[in-house]
Amino acid sequence: MKENYDVIIVGTGAAGLYCALNLPSRMKVLMLTKQQADQSDSFLAQGGICMLRGEEDYNDYFEDTMRAGHYENDAKAVELMIRSSNSIIRDLLQRNVTFERTETGELDFTREGAHSQPRILFYEDITGKQITQTLLNQALTRDNIEICEYMTMVDIISKDNVCGGVIVMDEKNEVYPVRAPYVVLACGGLGGLYKNSTNFPHIAGDGLGIAMKHQVVLEHLDYIQIHPTTLYSHKPGRRFLISESVRGEGALLYDKNGQRFTNELQPRDLLSQAIFAQMEKDGTDFVWEDMRPLGEETIMKHFPNIFHRCVEEGFDPRKEPIPVVPAQHYFMGGIKVDLGSRTSMKGLYACGETSCNGVHGKNRLASNSLLESLVFARRAADDIIFGRKPDPCRPGTIDLKPYEDRAAVLTVYHEMVLNEIERMKKSHE
């Protein structure tokens, strides 16, 4: 790792990698991640990635997204995402990302909750891994992209609202300033702040706290999505997602008596509410999800990863329902950005789950996350290439002593985020 780069990207998920790959080879890019490069939530995405199915699908796709978001979405951002979807998918195919095909070789589509028709491309039940691993493999071949693992961002360098780099700590607790005229925060959501979450525990909103410290504008920190169906387990740690696609393909939800109690294809927030209400009524810690209506062939072909994980927990979804419970899953708020992924600080960008561009509104429509991440990561790259270069940031001498206790520094950021979430919740009561 050197002291100076053209661009620093914090995070190695789909957004960070796609931003890096859309930058020209003449730019020296540093990518930082707290763990291994493949330990981002993008690798965990199961369901798929949405794509506009022709002009006749536009109004329905737009309305599905807006309805799921309770019409709090930014309509221009939604339009940009949908209109960009076909070029994003073409680019992924050119990068050798694999999606499921029909018997005639056409792209196959599945449907998920709150979608009016099938418009979701997928690869088994590990679509996120298929896309993100392909992008990571390409980034590793690029001479201009340097990826540093086990490197924690503990602050950004700024002066007079101009960003000039980041302060990082390595796994030996050594602290370094690294400078660049452009910094892209693509460091994920805040699931690590919750006991029950589908996210990796180290993804805990660090970037949000750092942005707050520097008075960068944030928005809707209390817009936190609960996924209605994660596999119930007594074991501690990350909760395993039972994909929206399972219900989209026909799985049913039962109460403690084996009776259906709700519409399985509602938006995630409404379905989660229905499940919580049924659990309270039944006095149970979970409800049952029945995959048997899908048939064994669909279960084994479309959802092999889910099948094997259920078997590990002692359930055979081909023969019996599985216990599921809602858990924290996704973050719709974040660092406020415009359509170019620019934040309120010059030279600082944000994309992916750590940003808030308004696409998702109050509740994300299933399988819009990967598409949104890629669209706005490319927008960030385009603005870095073609936009106006910010004035140089000259902060002078940087005191690194305040950052030497990693746990204490991160705890402060996490508490800032949690306190702001609670403040926002109370203001809406």
158, exposed or middle or buried, with CB in 10 Å at 0-12, 13-18, 19+?
A: buried
Asked about 179 being catalytic, the answer comes back as no
The β-bridge relationship of strands 355-356 and 348-350 is: unpaired
Q: Bridge-partner residues for 329, per DSSP? A: none
Q: How far, in Å, CA of 357 to CA of 205, rounded?
A: 17
Q: How far, in Å, CA of 83 to CA of 66, rounded?
A: 15
Q: How far, in Å, CA of 131 to CA of 88, rounded?
A: 12
Q: How far, in Å, CA of 56 to CA of 84, rounded?
A: 16
Q: How far, in Å, CA of 231 to CA of 196, rounded?
A: 11
User: Of the listed 238, 268, 378, 379, which one is catalytic?
Assistant: 268
Q: Which H or E element spans position 394? A: none
Contact 142, 21 (CB under 8 A): yes
Determine the straight-line distance between the first and last CA of the chain, rounded to whole angstroms. 48
Q: Bridge-partner residues for 183, per DSSP? A: 8, 348
Quote the strand ranges of 33-106, DSSP E. 49-50
Distance of CA 24 to the CA centre of its chain: 25
Three-state DSSP state, 397: coil
Sheet holding 355-356, edge to edge: 218-219, 334-336, 355-356
**What torsion, rounded to 10 degrees, do the Cα atoms 236, 238, 242, 244 define?**
140
Smallest CA-to-CA distance from 313 within 421, 231, 209, 195 is with 231
DSSP secondary structure string for all residues of 171-220: TT--EEEEE-SEEEE-----GGGSSSBSS-TT-SSHHHHHHHHTT--EE-
Give the DSSP letter of residue 161. T
Q: How far, in Å, CA of 335 to CA of 342, rounded?
A: 10
Distances (CA, A) of 104 to 51, 101, 125: 19, 8, 21
Active site residues: 268
